[in-house]
Amino acid sequence: MNETRLPDAPVHYKCIMVRALESSDMEAFAEIMSLPGVRRGTLSVGYRSPEQLAAWYERRLKTGVNVCAVIGERVVGHASLEIHAQSRSHSAHLGLAVHDAYHGRGVGSALLQSLIDCADAALGLRRIDLTVFSDNAPAIALYRKSGFVEEGASRGFALRDGVLADVLHMARLVDAPRFQTN
């Protein structure tokens, strides 16, 4: 596989295309999910084969929306909304991963905005929630910029690099009633 050499200074791409993830994207998706930064920054275990991810993707098609970011011909990120069932059908859980070489270049923003637009305009979702490692400052800043707020934290939530790591639970609500205590 040819590796694209990127400049040291961050470059924001104006030609990020966000489109539906397709079964033909599984090899690129598997590569992204196995990168060191993606494994460290997400709750994914990584090292899944394209076949394993294709099976996961087929299951997720029934309950959500999966998109990818493409620059030129290269898939550089993935995001998904997993729509909850029954009494939580107004909400979805967000997952987002950006290729290690493309962090800080607008890819995460493009993916997130595309899913927010889809959630609001096409799916009628009122709530999007997510879980993010508490030390992932760039991701937290991106989510806050898009209207997500912290709802709580969980200590020792996930094993990362052999150590228990803390996470924040964040959500974005549309037209939400105020929280009431009675």
E strand spans, 39-176: 64-71, 74-83, 91-98, 127-133, 149-160, 163-173
Q: What is the pLDDT of residue 51?
A: 83
Give 8-65 pLDDT, tens digit per residue: 444 455 799 999 998 899 889 889 988 999 989 888 777 778 788 778 777 776 778 9
For residue 134, the one-letter residue type is: S
Backbone angles phi, psi at 28, to 5 degrees: -65, -40
* Residue 108, H or E segment: helix 107-117
Predicted TM-score (pTM) of this structure: 0.85
Domains of the chain: 17-130 (3.40.630.30)
DSSP per position, 16-78: -EEEE--GGGHHHHHHHHTSHHHHHHSS------HHHHHHHHHHHHTTEEEEEEEETTEEEEE
Give 137-178 pLDDT, tens digit per residue: 999 999 999 999 999 999 999 999 889 999 999 999 997 556
